[in-house]
């Protein structure tokens, strides 16, 4: 009987994990290139802010970035905590808000945000910055 209770608890958890993966498997049809800056926000929430004038955003939108493959530089490893960081990424947004694959926040319960899966990444020089 104890085993049946355990299974009854385990099955809904399994389906919840599958649903999360499915929500993050649907990419938009059109590739795009955006410029983002690291926000240095003091939480485990989305840290990359879209600041690309071509997108006509009315306010700052914080997003997550996800590597398209393991050979690409991991965007979250680039900021050093001291300097402004801007990068240009090309790829696709997921259709629904969520979290990047293999995202494990260090603490708290972060809010889902749009996720951009990039296939190309390059640093952009910040005007007036040395280095």
Cβ density class 63-101: b for 16+ within 10 Å, e for less: bbbbbbeeeeeebeeebeeeeebbbebebbbbeebbbbe
What pLDDT shows up at residue 54?
57
What pLDDT shows up at residue 1?
55
Would you list the domain boundaries of the chain?
2-124
| Residue 95: both structure tokens together | 């259709």
What span, in angstroms and rounded, lies between the C-alpha atoms of 95 and 85?
Answer: 26
What span, in angstroms and rounded, lies between the C-alpha atoms of 58 and 39?
Answer: 17
What pLDDT shows up at residue 99?
93
Cβ density class 25-57: b for 16+ within 10 Å, e for less: eeeeeeeeebebbbbeeeeebbbbbbeeeeeee
For residue 119, pLDDT beyond 80: yes
pLDDT, mean over the chain: 78
Best CA proximity match to 62, nearest among 79, 78, 82, 44: 44
């Amino acid at each position: 009987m104890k085993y049946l209770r355990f299974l009854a608890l385990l099955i809904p958890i399994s389906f919840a994990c599958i649903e999360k993966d499915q929500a993050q498997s649907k990419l938009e049809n059109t590739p795009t290139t955006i410029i983002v800056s690291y926000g240095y926000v003091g939480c485990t929430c989305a840290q990359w802010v879209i600041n690309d004038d071509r997108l006509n955003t009315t306010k700052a939108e914080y997003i997550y970035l996800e590597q398209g493959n393991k050979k690409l530089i991991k965007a979250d490893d680039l900021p050093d905590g001291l300097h402004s960081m801007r990068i240009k990424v090309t790829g696709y947004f997921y259709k629904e808000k969520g979290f990047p694959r293999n995202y494990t926040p260090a603490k708290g319960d972060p809010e889902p945000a749009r996720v951009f899966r990039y296939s190309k990444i390059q640093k952009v020089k910040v005007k007036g910055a040395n280095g």
